Structure 1
Amino acid sequence: MKKVLLFVFYIGIFSQVNAQKGQQTDVLIIGGSTSGTMAGIQSARMGVKTMIVEETPWLGGMLTSAGVSAIDGNHSMPSGLWGEFREQIRNYYGGADKVSTGWVSNTLFEPSVGQKVLRKMCDTEKNLTLIFGVKLTDIKQVTNGWQVKFSDGKTIQTKILIDATELGDVAAKVGIKYDLGMDAQSTYNEPIAPEKANKIIQDLTYAAILKDYGANADKTLPKPANYSALEFNCACKEFCDNPNAKRQNPCANLMTYAKLPNGKVLINWPINGNDYYANMVEMSENERQEAIKEAKAVTLRFVYFLQTELGFKNFGLADDEYPTADKLPLIPYHRESRRIDGLVRMNTNHIEKPFVQPQPLYRTGIAVGDYAIDHHHDKNPAAPDLHFVPVPSFNIPLGSLIPKQKTNFIVAEKSISVSNLVNGASRLQPAVMQIGQAAGALAAYSVLNKISPEKASVRAIQQTLLHSKVYLMPYFDVPPTHPNWEAIQRVGATGILKGVGQSVNWSNRTWFYPDSTISTNEFLKGLKDFEPKFTYKGISEQKRMNFAEFEGILSQFKQFLASIKSPLAQSISEKNISSDKQNLPISRSEIAVRLAGLMEKEVDFEGKYK
């Protein structure tokens, strides 16, 4: 009997110890958001044990759970997992033309389909575990990682923690410093910023998915409380009593703006529509829930407006999209959140003129975007009237994902270290998907090399991403199908060859011009930026450089690298040029192929060469 009692006693002690230990993982991602999902996939693909913990029953955040399933930007830059996700969406519906259903976007899909695609992508990763329906309750930093407790009573210990929440709640909970609202003009010398800083963030939106139930159907909602059609005065041209109102569209455009496949429509209308101002970032949970109720009420009033004033009574809330009683999305669409104090802070100057900044952050790029700086402030009368200048396409620096104050911690989603104005361009779905992928790559690399993310090699992370067809440089005219795509991306990240930025309405570009030529002086200037001590012993003229001259310069440059004992000398191979080709001009693409190995020269998080 004593032996039985002792056995039971020891079993009890063993169970208590295991309960205290809880689960362990290499990478823990809190938030199955747009970025969180991509971070999980990338991390798992690199062979490390990864978990995503999400409060709701869905993956995808703004892409799916918030219903913003009309993609903004990056149509011509299908970078990494964004391109993979888009391809699966196209395959589901039967081709690219099947998802180009609305005039706001080239890629539109039903949120429920987006969720299915994301689940399928995650379910194929054997190193990835998904946990739904639990909330973070406590967190503390421990030796070599973090210990996190959740509302189901479980504790998870992890080596690397990624905050992929919508509002940066985990970063705030562990004490990471952050900014909120508009920066003063003087803070980053951004001329279009307001003169004084404030705490105003962008309007949020509680989207809705409507479905066409047939011409004879009447799906009109019961009249919502406090409804007045005047709330939506000038939402469209035919319902407007102000002849000077700006941005007026025909009322029919409200239903074709974000038309989804299968007769559905995304309602996310910014012009006197269902945007709503509530700065929920620092609210308590109860206050957030009250703000969400108000945001939902605005959307339901707007839907009723569409059904009654504009005559779209056959369009009702879709009954086959969300697992919610009210048929509305699971979460609101947050355009803005906390912005952490990161190793670097990207501002609009880095977008407008990336190649002349004191911090050449473009050399550390891990994601690209081509969307304009776009802020929603119509529903807050206290917001200053900002003029958003046209910008070219841009890349996002790796250091913006890493906080200064904490180790073994990475931030993704919209809480990365950028200025308030840059957030208006970096917050869009494709950019955030790439941010998530980079966060996953950085986390897995840190685990595999037993280091904290701030000690990671920028070049190693970039090379990992290149293997997954992630753009480092936002070169619109060099797709991944180009035979020299990777070489051009690598050389672009050195700055030896630079692109040319242009703004074309909402589609912003940076051109590499792979088939064009380059002057000798321009090429020598690029080499000088790379190695300031290099001096060319020859005559340089403002002319198109030919093969013979290029090879002569390259030979001298290789000798210079060897003289300073740089291992990069080995990356430049000798090449015999046929006599009939020596006097022909050499293209930028051909130069990139010969110089691609120079990206091995390490840079710090500011983009400066070590």
Structure 2
Amino acid sequence: MSNHHDVVIVGGSFGAVAAAQTLSSTGHTVVLVDEFDWIGGQATSQGLCVLDDMHDPISEKAGVNRSYYQFRERVRAHYRKHRELSAFGKAQIHLNPGNALCSHLAAESHIAHRVILEWLKPAVDEGRLTIKTGWKIHEMEKIGKRVTAAIFKNLSNGELMRIEGSFFLDGTEMGDTLPLLLLPYMKGSESRSEFGEPHAPEEARPNSIQSITFCATVEWAPGENNALPKPENYEAVRERQGGFFLFSPGRSQSRPAYMWKTSRTPNGELCVPSWFYRSVIDPKNFADDARPRAVINVPSNDYHEEPLLESESPERVLADARHLTQCYLYWLQNEAPRDEGGFGYPEIRPVPEATGTPDGIAMAPYIRESRRLRARTIVREQDVHRDCFETARGSIFNDSIGLGGYWLDVHKCSGGGRGLWEPTAAYQIPYTAMVTDELVNFSVAGKCLGVTQIANGAYRLHPEEWAIGQAAGVMAAYCLTHQEHEWPLAGWDLHRYQQELVRAGIPLYWYEDITFEHPAFEAFQMLAVRGVWTGAATHLRADSEHSLCQIRPEFHRVVDQLKENGTDVMDIRTTLDIAHNIRKYDTMSVLYQRLEELARNNAPSYPDLQARQTVASAH
């Protein structure tokens, strides 16, 4: 079987879905091919629709893509439509079905999957998008610097399917296309000397890869005995894991959490009950017969005995990791200390309907670490770690395609590699971490971008993966629409590509008080990434409502700097100085429109693009 599509998305991860969603409205034909029955990766097949968003500065609409916000709202709308909410649930502007500690939106994975399919259905029905599941990438074909086809293998019958395309995206969980395309990549821990990262080990450890986890969805069923059979080698697995315990942030093996009761750390901080760490259904939100449900994804079922990535026996590793979760579920039912005394919670019931599997354990493991492309830009720990900056933002990337805002969260690794939990400054995702000079029609669309293992800890989460995937989709559409373009995109091509991102509601520069709904969103974003008018160093506010009389020195510096670089907009300064009550957002909008007008007339406009054009002309 062979066919052709404009864009071929290899894999069905959360980022792959973001790419497919944005491409489905561009007029290009798209095919998405994944090995699992459910597309959506960590939010669906991996059983973790407990979205890892930091509470601050990310909000519902600031710091995230508009389409990511729409995904969250669609999940909430599903519960509002199909479940009866309590007064407490109805009162929430942004419903959180599970009221989980660690997420703005904690919901069931099968609902996330249903929402994704419903969202993509119009494109599928109209033939713009084709989704194929049960197929795994087998081989990639290329001629020179162009990828020409992907060959997939059916996991049921071994049939091969060849799909030709004009642009290819890697939306797999582990960067499966990179070795098939003979692209250089990294895996495991880099040495401290390679990138100068403060927390990197002295020597590289390519097989020290973050743990994988088979998440389970469970339900609290009072009065029921849902006892599972004792897993084989249960005691040995429990001891190998260092013992099992009830986890909640701030608690450990020596000081475990309660299942249902709150507690305090030695320094007085509140610890939530273990159940509510990743609760996905809280009955307090509902007026129907809802029972509490939660996702089990804790240190006790993190599998770090050996890596799945490039394992010689992947089926055995997957079976061992799944077996670990079965053992932990048995411990919960039989040996976990009860809050009121005694042991075991036989009331806990695995929920097959939430995972699409017979046992309530996810059909795919939660993958934290992929192969990582040796891209033109490699993001390092010191590009995002808070202690490396005296400013509110991390390293500034003028080729930014999206934003992130999570901690450097590296889980325990195979081979004894230690975990890491370190604070970050608000950070960006650079375009040049997604592409390679070696291929002109290929981009990553998920976790396999150019980051170190440590930086990956901040770039692997739900909103970051979505941002990467959507940016890859917009990039593919741009390259197919503009046949004559630089590669990698640079200069005016990069500028126009970033404009398309911003117009799609994607923030590129960190402002916590300017959302994609703001009428001057494009002006604030584009002036910042061009380096014309950036935010304050000490905070993330745009202060868009300030009048010019409050920001006059700042405005004058911007205009003076433009003039020094050959762009004269002094007439705007003269006019606005008179109308000194004009707001900052209107000031920036006027300036942005003038620079765009100058650019259209080939007059000096943006200094960074003008300087590049001058250098190119000289050569």
Would you call these one fold, judging by a TM-score over 0.5? yes
Q: Cα deviations across residues 337-368 of structure 1 (Å, max 9, x unaligned)?
A: 11111121111222246899xx9752111111
Matched, 1:546 2:577: no
Letter in 2 for 1:60: G
Q: CA deviation at 1:328?
A: 2.0
Q: CA deviation at 1:455?
A: 3.8
Letter in 2 for 1:290: R
Letter in 2 for 1:79: N
Matched, 1:249 2:265: no
- Given that 1:402 and 1:453 are in contact with CA atoms closer than 8 Å, whether structure 2 keeps it comes out as no
Matched, 1:88 2:107: no
Query: Hey, what's the Cα distance between the residues in 2 that align with 1:43 and 1:314?
Result: 45
**Residue in structure 2 matching 1:445, options 478, 492, 503:** 478
Match of 1:211 in 2: 219
Letter in 1 for 2:46: A
Letter in 1 for 2:13: S
Match of 1:334 in 2: 367
For the residue of structure 1 that corresponds to 2:398, the secondary structure is helix
Determine what percentage of the aligned residue pairs are the same residue: 23
- Superposed, which structure 2 residues align to 1:419-438 within 5 Å? 419-438=452-471
Query: Hey, what's the Cα distance between the residues in 2 that align with 1:100 and 1:498?
Result: 38
5+ residue gaps, structure 1, are: 1-18, 503-508, 520-543
User: Could you say which structure has the larger radius of gyration?
Assistant: 1
Aligned in 2, Cα 1:577/1:36: closer, same or farther, shift over 3 Å? closer
- Given that 2:247 and 2:298 are in contact with CA atoms closer than 8 Å, whether structure 1 keeps it comes out as no
Q: Cα deviations across residues 296-326 of structure 1 (Å, max 9, x unaligned)?
A: 1100111111111233222211031233344
Q: CA deviation at 1:50?
A: 1.0
Letter in 2 for 1:132: T
- Given that 2:378 and 2:433 are in contact with CA atoms closer than 8 Å, whether structure 1 keeps it comes out as yes
Letter in 2 for 1:137: H
Larger displacement relative to structure 2 (390-399 or 292-301): 390-399
Matched, 1:349 2:349: no
- Give the TM-score of the pair, scaled to structure 1: 0.80
Match of 2:230 in 1: 223
**Residue in structure 2 matching 1:289, options 307, 311, 315:** 315
Letter in 2 for 1:595: L
Match of 2:16 in 1: 36
For the residue of structure 2 that corresponds to 1:59, the secondary structure is coil
Aligned in 2, Cα 1:516/1:187: closer, same or farther, shift over 3 Å? farther
Larger displacement relative to structure 2 (452-461 or 50-59): 452-461
**Residue in structure 2 matching 1:146, options 139, 145, 148:** 148
Aligned residue pair count: 537
Letter in 2 for 1:159: S
Aligned in 2, Cα 1:106/1:557: closer, same or farther, shift over 3 Å? closer
**Residue in structure 1 matching 2:31, options 37, 51, 63:** 51
Q: Cα deviations across residues 563-596 of structure 1 (Å, max 9, x unaligned)?
A: x5x6xx68985763475x54x7x87545533433
5+ residue gaps, structure 2, are: 81-92, 154-158, 261-272, 282-289, 337-343, 600-605
Larger displacement relative to structure 2 (290-299 or 249-258): 249-258
- Given that 1:401 and 1:410 are in contact with CA atoms closer than 8 Å, whether structure 2 keeps it comes out as yes
Match of 1:181 in 2: 188
Match of 2:408 in 1: 373
Query: Hey, what's the Cα distance between the residues in 1 that align with 2:381 and 2:187?
Result: 17
- Superposed, which structure 2 residues align to 1:85-484 within 5 Å? 85-94=71-80, 96-125=94-123, 126=126, 127-142=128-143, 145-151=147-153, 152-199=159-206, 200-212=208-220, 214-228=221-235, 231=241, 233=243, 235-236=245-246, 248-252=256-260, 253-261=273-281, 262=290, 263-270=292-299, 272-284=300-312, 287-310=313-336, 311-352=344-385, 361-377=396-412, 380=414, 382-384=416-418, 386=420, 388-450=421-483, 454-456=487-489, 457-484=493-520
- Given that 2:171 and 2:444 are in contact with CA atoms closer than 8 Å, whether structure 1 keeps it comes out as yes
For the residue of structure 2 that corresponds to 1:96, the secondary structure is coil
- Given that 2:188 and 2:209 are in contact with CA atoms closer than 8 Å, whether structure 1 keeps it comes out as yes
For the residue of structure 1 that corresponds to 2:384, the secondary structure is helix
Match of 1:539 in 2: none
Q: CA deviation at 1:433?
A: 0.6
Aligned in 2, Cα 1:594/1:250: closer, same or farther, shift over 3 Å? farther
Aligned in 2, Cα 1:381/1:553: closer, same or farther, shift over 3 Å? closer
Letter in 1 for 2:404: G
Match of 2:5 in 1: 25
- Given that 2:50 and 2:107 are in contact with CA atoms closer than 8 Å, whether structure 1 keeps it comes out as yes
Query: Hey, what's the Cα distance between the residues in 1 that align with 2:460 and 2:169?
Result: 17
Query: Hey, what's the Cα distance between the residues in 2 that align with 1:588 and 1:156?
Result: 51
Letter in 1 for 2:196: N
Letter in 2 for 1:435: I
Q: CA deviation at 1:232?
A: 5.9
Alpha-carbon RMSD across the aligned residues, in angstroms, is 3.4
Aligned in 2, Cα 1:515/1:197: closer, same or farther, shift over 3 Å? farther
- Given that 1:407 and 1:453 are in contact with CA atoms closer than 8 Å, whether structure 2 keeps it comes out as no
Larger displacement relative to structure 2 (295-304 or 451-460): 451-460
Larger displacement relative to structure 2 (200-209 or 72-81): 72-81
For the residue of structure 1 that corresponds to 2:478, the secondary structure is helix
- Given that 2:400 and 2:430 are in contact with CA atoms closer than 8 Å, whether structure 1 keeps it comes out as yes
Aligned in 2, Cα 1:459/1:178: closer, same or farther, shift over 3 Å? same
Aligned in 2, Cα 1:221/1:588: closer, same or farther, shift over 3 Å? same
- Superposed, which structure 2 residues align to 1:583-602 within 5 Å? 589=585, 591-597=587-593, 598=595, 601=606
Query: Hey, what's the Cα distance between the residues in 1 that align with 2:556 and 2:546?
Result: 18
Aligned in 2, Cα 1:104/1:551: closer, same or farther, shift over 3 Å? closer
Q: CA deviation at 1:99?
A: 2.6
